[in-house]
Amino acid sequence: MSLVSITEEYQQAFLGVQVALHNHQLWIGLSRYDDGTHYHWSDKKHISFSRWFGEDKGLVGDCVYLDTDGFWKASDCFTEKAGAICYSPGNETEIQETHYESIKCPHKIKNTPWIAYRNSCYTFVVPQNRWEGLNLDEANGFCRKMNSNASLLSIKDEDENDFLLEQFESFSGLVQWMWLGLFNDTNEPIFSSRSASNQLKWCDGTYVSYNNWRNGRPIIRSKFFHAGVNQDGFWDIFDHSRNNWLYWQFGFHSILVCKLNLEPKISQPPLPKQMPYKNKVYWILQQQLNWYDAWKECKQKGSDLSSIHSIPEHVFLENIAKRDGFPLWIGLSNHNGNDSDFGWSDGSQFDYHPWEHQPSHSFGNCFAIDTKGIWNRRKCTSRGDGAICYSSPKKVQLKQTETSSKCPDSPKGASQWLHYKDYCYAFDMAFYNYSTYTADEARKVCKKLDPSAELLTIKDGEENKFVSTHLKDYYFITGKVWLGMQFNAKSLNWLDGSEAKYTNWANESEKANGQCSVIFSANGTWSKADCNNEPSRVVCKTPEVSHHSRGAIAVCVIMVIALLVGLAYFLYRRMRLHSFGFTSVRYERGMHDDETDSMFSRNDD
């Protein structure tokens, strides 16, 4: 037999009726015996329910009894009562993890009970005013008053989030959010101008690593905001704004959850700006963007989207994603129209295949690594929560010895055209802002680079080999490159008007039908492609410009300018004569031989 412990309201109601019927105060198994402040059940059960009397005069003592009015009250343990309520466990089986049995959550008189979970204790508090007008500091201060080591709610993983949702169900009719103890640590350097979510800290002083934001990585534009866990489990955030009524009403619609962590805090610092690993340096794009924009951002900063070739690299990048708290784009993708031709955006060999052992039901041609290290397929155009880029000090620099003054000028420090025989080629994707285009868009891009430029044309096998080699050097996310070819019923011609005498079709049957064509960088073969629905990379080509041609053009320009100046002067002089009243005089010879005298006549206009 043991003194009774009361753990839920139905048990309380039953025992309250029994005490009222006996009309006697009866001891129950609640007392304080260690620090003189916190109460515990004598059978070691957790205090998950309370029914304290509302006035202090009935709450003086170390032992607790159930009064005839149904409330718990405390008095001296040596005070004589009419009796006590005992119980025998019998065949009772309590569902309780042994891991929690050693946890002793605190409980003061009139405080809301704490709930034990793993190595922490939680309490849910809803006062009459529903926390209306309360700010974050005041909310966290309330938890500190309950226990000096407690703080406003922090959530460290998915299991904890699920546990809190189960507890939250009891309050679903009263409030909509559990208040999260999050603030923006402005003392840390800003890592990304578009997002400051990497600086979010919990009120317990640790950095955020796990999250469940409804709309992905949040963009925080204000130092003041409210964040909470909605009834559906997703996290919502509301910036400080006059027009954002939810920010001002958040406290009224929220429950305060205080958390007491009973194990030492393990606080990891925020991710550094650069993370060296082996011979590479990794960094994160912490902003919402699609795969193409992520790849472009990395390239524009002299880096590449990350590639993975071994288990240690996989584990390293998994840890980055876990610490960041969001799935991040990596460089694996497929842009060649089939479901098996995947490759890394940095051109490295695809020699590591972890998802063969990690089934995924997602779809898409691009990949992101999540906080559990799983590679998830996603649509390349969908918005992700960031990307992992890397740079390598040993990256091979492309030779620029083939550049020539016979090629179009490029801005100082920009990419250069490459000269080969009688033509110039623009292979570097920086020319094209690291983007893919439809066939029509690609031709317009070339015209913008230089009026004489056209899409790639190939006259013979040597040029085909030259082009293939440089396509590999200037690697791009897709191996398909537009050819400047036009089809008609009689012949196959290039866009510059010349006949396509040389071809390198992967399949000879492809040279029929009126479609667009591409060359594959992997092997230099040609194939048909949909002009509008298969965006491909661009390589522009233009005839070389000789020094003599440039000189002749300059002379022509000077002559045209001189003629225009002369004509303008002549017109000016003629108008000036008219303005002074002079008339023009015409000279005429006689019509007959004997008319030897010259004749002058006046033109009267």
For 197-211, 522-536, 580-594, which range has the lowest pLDDT when averaged over its residues?
A: 580-594
**Closest by Cα among 434, 426, 430 to 452:** 426
Measured from the Cβ of residue 254, the count of other Cβ atoms closer than 10 Å reads 25
pLDDT at residue 293 tops 90: yes
What pLDDT is attached to residue 258? 95
Between 577 and 178, the higher pLDDT residue:
178
Block residue for tokens 């022509």: 556
**Collapsed DSSP state (helix, strand, coil) of residue 58:** helix
Highest mean pLDDT range out of 137-151, 185-199, 555-569?
137-151
Domain 2-87 and domain 275-391 have a common topology: yes
Q: Quote the percentage of the chain above a pLDDT of 70.
A: 78
Between 123 and 356, the higher pLDDT residue:
123
What pLDDT is attached to residue 497? 83
Task: Name the CATH superfamily, with its identifier, for domain 2-87.
Answer: Mannose-Binding Protein A, subunit A (3.10.100.10)
**Closest by Cα among 457, 480, 588 to 533:** 480
Average pLDDT for residues 461-466, to the nearest whole number? Answer: 94
Average pLDDT for residues 300-317, to the nearest whole number? Answer: 93
Task: Write the class of the CATH domain 115-261.
Answer: alpha beta
At a CB cut-off of 8 Å and minimum separation 6, what does 311 contact? none
Q: How confident is the model at residue 396 (pLDDT cuts 50, 70, 90)?
A: very low
Between 174 and 572, the higher pLDDT residue:
174
Highest mean pLDDT range out of 212-226, 549-563, 582-596?
212-226
Average pLDDT for residues 282-287, to the nearest whole number? Answer: 94
302 backbone φψ class: left, alpha, beta (φ>0; ψ -120 to 50): left
Tell me the one-letter amino acid at 398. L
Average pLDDT for residues 206-229, to the nearest whole number? Answer: 90
What pLDDT is attached to residue 557? 66
What pLDDT is attached to residue 264? 75
pLDDT at residue 403 tops 60: no
For 23-32, 340-349, 427-436, 555-564, which range has the lowest pLDDT when averaged over its residues?
A: 555-564
Q: How confident is the model at residue 131 (pLDDT cuts 50, 70, 90)?
A: low
What pLDDT is attached to residue 191? 36
User: Which residues on neighbouring strands pair with residue 84, listed in sequence order?
Assistant: 27
What pLDDT is attached to residue 95? 46
Asked if 182 and 227 touch (Cβ cutoff 8 Å), the reply is: yes
Q: How confident is the model at residue 189 (pLDDT cuts 50, 70, 90)?
A: very low
Mean pLDDT, the chain, rounded, equals 81
What pLDDT is attached to residue 282? 97
Q: Quote the percentage of the chain above a pLDDT of 90.
A: 37
Q: How confident is the model at residue 259 (pLDDT cuts 50, 70, 90)?
A: very high
Residue 249 sits at φ, ψ, to 5 deg, of -100, 5
Q: What is the DSSP string of 239-275?
A: E--TT-HHHHHTGGGEEEEEEEE-S----PPPPPS-E
CA dihedral 322, 325, 330, 332 (to 10 degrees): 80
pLDDT at residue 51 tops 90: no
Does the domain made of 416-543 have the CATH classification 3.10.100.10? yes
What pLDDT is attached to residue 578? 60
Q: Whole-angstrom Cα distance, residue 562 to residue 565?
A: 5
At a CB cut-off of 8 Å and minimum separation 6, what does 402 contact? 418, 419, 420
Task: Write the class of the CATH domain 275-391.
Answer: alpha beta
The tens digit of pLDDT for each residue in 498-509 reads: 888 999 998 877
**Closest by Cα among 425, 389, 396, 387 to 408:** 425
Asked if 61 and 33 touch (Cβ cutoff 8 Å), the reply is: no
What pLDDT is attached to residue 322? 92
Q: Whole-angstrom Cα distance, residue 188 to residue 209?
A: 16
Average pLDDT for residues 304-322, to the nearest whole number? Answer: 94
Between 282 and 52, the higher pLDDT residue:
282
Q: pTM for this one?
A: 0.67
What pLDDT is attached to residue 98? 42
Q: How confident is the model at residue 155 (pLDDT cuts 50, 70, 90)?
A: very high
Q: Whole-angstrom Cα distance, residue 229 to residue 365?
A: 32
Average pLDDT for residues 241-265, to the nearest whole number? Answer: 83
Q: Where are the domains of the chain?
A: 2-87, 115-261, 275-391, 416-543
User: Which residues on neighbouring strands pair with residue 52, listed in sequence order?
Assistant: 72
**Collapsed DSSP state (helix, strand, coil) of residue 461:** helix
Q: Whole-angstrom Cα distance, residue 483 to residue 521?
A: 12
93: tokens are 């089986």
The tens digit of pLDDT for each residue in 157-166 reads: 999 999 999 9
pLDDT at residue 592 tops 50: no
pLDDT at residue 587 tops 50: no
Number of residues that this document lists for the chain: 605
**Collapsed DSSP state (helix, strand, coil) of residue 464:** helix
